[in-house]
Chains A and B, each alone.
Chain A
Amino acid sequence: MNGVHDMGGQQDMGPVVYEKDEPVFHASWEARIYALNRAMRALRKWSLDTDRHALELMSPVDYLRMSYYERWLYRLEAQVVQYGLVSREEFESGQPAPGSTKEGPQLTLATSDRWLDRGIASSDDPRVRPSFKVSQRVRARNINPTGHTRLPRYARGKTGVIVRDHGVYLFPDSNAHFQGEKRQHVYSVRFAARELWGASASPRDSMHLDLWDDYLERA
C-alpha cells in the first residue's frame, strides 16, 4: 500500500540524528518488547511479512510520532487479541481468564538456539522457473496494491537491469495476507540514479533493489 512507511525519496524528514556510543536498547522496556515480538512470532500464528504489514497499517501520524519499539508494542498488543491468543477482557484486565488454557511456551530456554536460528524461508527449488535472466533489462511494474508489497513507489515504472538472481523466496504480497507462499525468483535489479531521480542525480550512481518476479516486466 502507498503508506508513509514507503519513505524512499521523501525530502522533508530533517537531518539524520546520530547518537555516539548508542546502546543496543535505550531502556529495559525496549529489550523486553523486542524479545516478546520475536518469541510470539515463533508461535507461527503470523509471519514476518504479516508483522511488517501490521506496522504499515498504522495511521501515518502514529507511525511518525512513535519510536521504533513503541510501534512494536502497539503492534503486539493488537496482534495477541486479533489472533485469539488473548481475549479482549484478558488484555484489559491483565489477568488470564479463570480456567483459560495454557498453550505452553513454544519458545523455552532449552530451544531458544533453534528458534533463534530459524531461517527466513527460501529455496533453490528448480521447479520454480525464473522469468528473467542476468543482464536482462526489466521494468518495475506500475502497480499500487492496497495490501502489503515490497516494491517501493520510487521504482515503479522505472527501467533497470538484472544483475543477480537470488533464488526463490516467498512472495510477501500474498504471504502477508495468508494467501499462499507463491514462491518465485528474487533478483537484484540495478537502476541508474538518473532513471529514478532525473538529471540532477549523478550519472555514475545507482540504486539496487531486490525485486520479486511478479514486480517485473520486460523492458
Chain B
Amino acid sequence: MGETGHQEVPSDLTLRVKSLESLLVEKGLVDRAALDALIDTMEHKVGPRNGARVVARAWIDPAYKKRLLENAPAAIAELGYTSGQGEHMLVVENGPKVHNLVVCTLCSCYPWPVLGLPPVWYKSAPYRSRAVIDPRGILREFGTQLTEDVEVRVWDSTAELRYIVLPERPAGTQTMTEEQLAALVTRDAMVGVAKVRVPPSGGNQ
C-alpha cells in the first residue's frame, strides 16, 4: 500500500498526457511555449539552492535573520526569490532544545520559491501519515536522533502558510564564507527531517 517511490511508467500515461496537451493547444486553451517556460522555472530556477542561500545569509547576518523571522516573504524577496506558493511563508528556527518539522498531511503544500517542488517522499502516504503522530520515529528513519529533552514542533500546512525550517549552524564553521555555508544546507534540513552537517572530508579545509 502507499506510494513506494516511482514505479516504471506505463507508456499509457505518456500517451494520455500527449493527447490531452495537443487537444488543449489545438483548442487555444494553452500555449506550449508557456508550458516549456514553466517547466524550465521549476527545473532550473527554483529549488533548495535558493533556500540554502536564505539560510546562509541568516546565519551570517543577524539583522537579516531578524527580518526573515518577522517577515519571511519580504526577506526572501530581498534575495530575488518570488513565485507561486510562496506568498505566505514562515520561517521556524531550530535551536539546541527545539526541533521543527514540516508536513502537509492533507495534500502536498510546500514552499516552492525556496525549495522547489517537493520530493516524492514528502508527498507520500508514509510521511504524511506519521509525521504528526510519530515525528521522532520519522526523524530516526532519516537518521536524525533527538534526545528526550529536545522539544519537537510539527507544522502541518493545513492553510496557505508555507513553512521553512531555519536549521542550526553547525559547529566549526566560523571561518566559512556565505557561499561555503550555503553549500552545506540541504533540502532535508529545511524541511526539518535532518540537521546540517559538515562533511568529514570537505568543509573548511
Contact B159 A22 (CB under 8 A): no
Say how far A116's CB is from chain B's closest CB, in angstroms: 5
Q: Name the prevailing secondary structure of the B interface residues.
A: mixed
CB-defined contacts of A29 to chain B, threshold 8 Å: 9, 13-14, 17-18
* Interchain CA distance A100-B23 in the complex, whole Å: 12
Say how far B162's CB is from chain A's closest CB, in angstroms: 9
Contact B30 A73 (CB under 8 A): no
CB-defined contacts of B155 to chain A, threshold 8 Å: 208
Which of A39, A100, A151, A186 meets B38, CB within 8 Å? Answer: A39
Which of A96, A118, A205 meets B135, CB within 8 Å? Answer: A205
Contact A150 B27 (CB under 8 A): no
Per the CB 8 Å criterion, the residue count for chain B at the interface is 83
CB-defined contacts of A116 to chain B, threshold 8 Å: 38, 41, 83-84
* Interchain CA distance A77-B27 in the complex, whole Å: 15
Band of interface residues on A? 35 or more
Contact B124 A208 (CB under 8 A): no
CB-defined contacts of B158 to chain A, threshold 8 Å: 150-152, 209-211
A58 touches B (CB below 8 Å)? no
Contact A5 B84 (CB under 8 A): no
26 contacts between A and B (CB under 8 A): A6-B105, A9-B129, A9-B133, A10-B130, A16-B138, A16-B142, A19-B5, A25-B39, A26-B6, A29-B13, A36-B21, A39-B31, A52-B106, A102-B28, A103-B29, A116-B84, A117-B82, A118-B84, A120-B160, A152-B105, A152-B156, A154-B132, A166-B159, A202-B152, A210-B156, A210-B160
The 4 closest A-B pairs by CB, nearest first: A102-B28, A8-B105, A210-B159, A10-B129
Binding site for A on B (CB under 8 A): 1-7, 9, 13-14, 16-24, 26-31, 33-39, 41-43, 47, 82-85, 87-88, 103, 105-108, 116-117, 119-121, 123-136, 138, 141-142, 148-161
Binding site for B on A (CB under 8 A): 5-19, 22, 24-29, 31-36, 38-40, 43, 52, 55, 64, 67-68, 70, 73, 76-77, 80, 85-86, 90-91, 94-96, 100, 102-109, 111-112, 116-120, 122, 150-152, 154, 166, 169, 186, 188, 193, 196-197, 202, 204-212
